[in-house]
A and B are shown apart, each in its own frame.
Chain A
Amino acid sequence: MENRTDKNSYTIIFAIAMVLVVGSLLAFTAASLKPTIAENERMEKQQNILYAMGVNDNDEGSANFISTDKVGDEFSKYIKKQLVIENGIASENDQAYLIDVKKEQTKAKSGEARRLPLFIGEKDGKTFYIAPIRGKGLWDAIWAYVAMDENMVVQGAYFDHKGETPGLGANIKQRFFMDDFIGEHLLDASGNFKGITVAKGNADPKNLDKTDNEVDAIAGATITGDGVTAMIKKDLKLYWPYFKTLKK
């Protein structure tokens, strides 16, 4: 016996109505929440940059950003200059932190010039050069903000990811991994860019050797770790020419 809901015409009308209702509901939600979400993302970028240069609310063991109500003021207090490096020429731009690294990478792939944002911060008389980098983990994007001194020695780093496995690759945003980078050299002994390798079996779990260009890998997160290595070698190397000009 056929009832009303089995008819083709009913099915088609139901499908159309459902798509219209759900579609407009989702569009409405997305459109009305967009400004708030964008504001959250902007503040998060500022928090990330400040975190890398050591302006954070870290307590023992866990990584904490400074709170969102303070971040705007702190950002203008600590970040002295925002640069955009394009074709080797650095110019100031106070909106540089809004540059989307992903879009710049796509531009570079299609042969256009890539804009490299660099943030110069000062804290306790020390100058920090903070660069955003981006790469691929196991499942999705990973990115980082790396603070360096003028010799490209890492002063702090903040890693994040979109969808790495909880408990494994997702641990790149844990203190025990990020803090290993502090003090690590990006250049080799003769001053050439070497990067930092996330190494299995470097026999240095406490990371005492800071000039070996290696940090200890996370067990069970090989591909995420390799992604971190590749991201550092590829993206931070682009900043090397700028650091060479600082030496002159």
Chain B
Amino acid sequence: MGLLSKKDANLILDPLADNNPITIQVLGICSALAITAELKASIVMAVSVLFVLGIGNVVISLMRNIIPSKIRIIVQLVVVAALVIIVDQVLKAYAYELSKTLSVFVGLIITNCIIMGRFEAFALGNGPWRSFLDGIGNAAGYGLILIIVGFFRELLGSGTLLGFKVLGDPIEKTGLYAIGYENNGFMLLSPMALIVVGIIIWIQRSRNKALIED
């Protein structure tokens, strides 16, 4: 790795697989349930968290020596809430359509436990550059799972991907539907998100026994 040292590169690569925030640390499950019924929402959420966690980690890291330890959680919460609100306001003024798509996610970003988790576990003890890499890595690991879950839920639940009818039209009975295929409405309900995440965890741990806890 020319650009990054091996240690730094691992900050990004680890959370993608063997230290994934969702499947290994089991953080951020709530938003994984809430918004993965369609692929587009998953992608928007992944990008938003990437942005907030990358910047937030740097801000907290820069402040790490002056934050009083007694109120550090409150300080972290204020930083992330302020960041998200400012971004939301700027989007409302200059990218109104995009801000309407994001409106649902603002609250979900602030309460996302991955963000607070990384602030607490990493940014408070590391420099800004490493914190930035850690933020990007964890957000990418989170986003990856979100997109996988969103892909399967939208495909099997609605028969579409990003809104395109990839399997044919269920009402006109074209494509797969002509031979009797039906959408599985259960995929659209939140419990199925947990089951899909469960299947990912199962596959991941059966391929890498080191991840199995006693």
Inter-chain pairs besides A164-B104, A219-B185, 5 sampled, C-beta below 8 Å: A14-B71, A33-B90, A36-B94, A166-B35, A167-B41
Question: Using a CB-CB cutoff of 8 Å, which residues 36-88 of chain B contact chain A?
Answer: 36-38, 40-41, 65-71, 74-75, 78, 82, 85-86
Whether a CB of chain A sits under 8 angstroms from the CB of B103 is: yes
Report A56 CB to chain B, min CB distance, Å.
14
Whether a CB of chain B sits under 8 angstroms from the CB of A73 is: no
A-B contact count (CB 8 A): 86
A168 contact set on B, CB distance < 8 A: 37, 188
Overall SS of chain A's interface: helix
Question: Using a CB-CB cutoff of 8 Å, which residues 101-151 of chain B contact chain A?
Answer: 103-104, 107
Interface string of A38-76 (1 = CB under 8 A from B): 001000100000000000000001100000000000000
A206 contact set on B, CB distance < 8 A: 171
Q: What's the Cα separation between A168 and B187 when bound, in Å?
A: 11
**Interface contact A166-B38, CB-CB below 8 Å:** yes
**Interface contact A22-B41, CB-CB below 8 Å:** no
| Given known contacts A5-B68, A26-B85, A167-B188, A36 and B93 CB-to-CB distance under 8 angstroms | yes
Interface residues on B, range: 35 or more
Closest to B106 in A: A163
Report B102 CB to chain A, min CB distance, Å.
11
Whether a CB of chain B sits under 8 angstroms from the CB of A99 is: no
Q: What's the Cα separation between A220 and B38 when bound, in Å?
A: 13
**Interface contact B89-A29, CB-CB below 8 Å:** yes
Q: What's the Cα separation between A118 and B92 when bound, in Å?
A: 27
Interface string of A156-199 (1 = CB under 8 A from B): 00000011111110100000000000000000000000000000
Whether a CB of chain A sits under 8 angstroms from the CB of B200 is: no
**Interface contact B37-A167, CB-CB below 8 Å:** yes
A170 contact set on B, CB distance < 8 A: 104
**In-complex Cβ contact of A40 among B90, B93, B107, B158 (8 A):** B93
B171 contact set on A, CB distance < 8 A: 205-206
Closest to B45 in A: A166
